[in-house]
C-alpha cells in the first residue's frame, strides 16, 4: 500500500511542477495564446502562484522518498488537488468562466477531472497507510511490553531459584529435615557372680590405715563374702503352676 502511495506522490509532484512552471511563465503571452489558455492578470499573481506550486511539488517528491512524511504530505497534496479540480469544474462548467474555445475547454475540464480523481485517490490511500501504521505501532508496543514482562518474569524466577525458602507465588516452602534419633549407650547388667565387682564405696588408701582398721576391714569383707555365698546356695522355692 505504501509503495502505491509513493507512486501517487511522484505523479502529484510532476503535475504540480508542470502547473507551477506554467504559472511562472505567465508573462509569456505567446505561449498562452498557443496553448489557448487565459493569461493571469496581473502577471505577478500568476508567478507567485507558480512558485507556491513548485514548492509543493518539491515537498511531494521529498515525501515520496522519506517514509515518515509520506502519509501526511500525501493527504495534504491530495486535498489540494481535488479541491483545485472541483473549483476548475465549477468555474468552467457552471459559470463558463473564463470563456475558452472548444478544445481549450475540453482540456481544462479533463485537467479538473484528473486533479479530482488523483486528489481523492491520494487522500484515501494516505488514510489507509496511516491506519496500517497505527496498527503496526500498537502491535510493536504490545510486543515490547510482552518482551519486558518476559524479562521480568525470568529475572523473578531466577531470584526465586536462588532463594530456596521462596517460590514464584511468594509463599514459603517448608522442607522436611531428617530427624536424628538420639543413640542410647548399650549397658550390660552387673553380674553379682562376677569376680570383679565395683565397690559401693570408694576404696580408701590402705597405706594410711592402722593395723586394727585393716583387720576390721578384712573381717567385714569376709562377712560380706560369706553372706553372699550363703544367699547364692540357699534353696529356691518351688514354681507354682
3-state secondary structure 162-222: HCCCECCCCCECCCCCCCCCCCCCCCCCCCCCCCCCCCCCCCCCHHHCCHHHHHHHHHHHH
What whole-number percentage of the chain has pLDDT above 70?
74
At 26-62, the pLDDT tens digits run 888 888 777 777 777 888 888 888 899 899 899 988 8
> In the prediction, which pLDDT does 63 show?
87
At 221-237, the pLDDT tens digits run 888 777 777 666 656 55
Average confidence (pLDDT) over 177-206: 51
pLDDT band, residue 217 (cuts 50/70/90): confident
Q: State yes or no: pLDDT of 64 exceeds 80.
A: yes
Average confidence (pLDDT) over 182-208: 50
Q: How far apart are CA 110 and CA 120, in angstroms?
A: 15
Q: Round the average pLDDT of the chain to a whole number and report it.
A: 76
Q: State yes or no: pLDDT of 188 exceeds 70.
A: no
Amino acid at each position: 500500500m505504501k509503495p502505491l502511495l509513493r507512486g501517487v506522490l511522484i505523479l502529484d509532484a510532476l503535475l504540480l511542477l508542470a502547473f507551477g512552471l506554467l504559472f511562472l511563465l505567465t508573462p509569456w503571452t505567446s505561449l498562452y495564446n498557443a496553448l489557448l489558455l487565459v493569461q493571469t492578470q496581473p502577471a505577478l499573481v500568476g508567478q507567485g502562484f507558480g512558485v507556491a506550486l513548485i514548492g509543493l511539488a518539491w515537498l511531494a517528491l521529498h515525501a515520496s522518498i522519506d517514509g515518515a512524511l509520506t502519509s501526511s504530505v500525501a493527504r495534504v497534496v491530495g486535498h489540494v488537488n481535488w479541491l483545485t479540480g472541483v473549483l476548475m469544474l465549477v468555474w468552467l462548467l457552471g459559470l463558463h468562466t473564463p470563456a475558452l474555445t472548444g478544445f481549450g475547454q475540453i482540456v481544462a475540464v479533463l485537467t479538473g477531472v484528473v486533479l479530482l480523481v488523483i486528489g481523492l485517490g491520494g487522500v484515501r490511500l494516505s488514510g489507509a497507510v496511516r491506519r496500517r501504521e497505527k496498527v503496526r505501532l500498537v502491535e510493536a508496543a504490545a510486543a515490547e511490553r510482552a518482551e519486558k514482562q518476559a524479562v521480568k518474569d525470568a529475572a523473578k524466577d531466577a531470584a526465586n531459584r536462588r532463594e530456596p525458602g521462596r517460590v514464584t507465588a511468594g509463599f514459603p516452602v517448608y522442607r522436611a529435615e531428617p530427624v536424628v534419633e538420639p543413640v542410647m549407650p548399650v549397658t550390660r547388667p552387673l553380674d553379682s557372680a562376677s569376680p570383679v565387682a565395683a565397690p559401693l564405696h570408694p576404696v580408701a588408701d590402705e597405706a594410711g590405715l592402722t593395723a586394727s582398721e585393716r583387720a576390721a576391714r578384712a573381717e567385714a569383707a569376709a562377712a560380706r563374702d560369706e553372706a553372699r555365698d550363703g544367699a547364692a546356695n540357699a534353696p529356691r522355692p518351688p514354681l507354682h503352676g
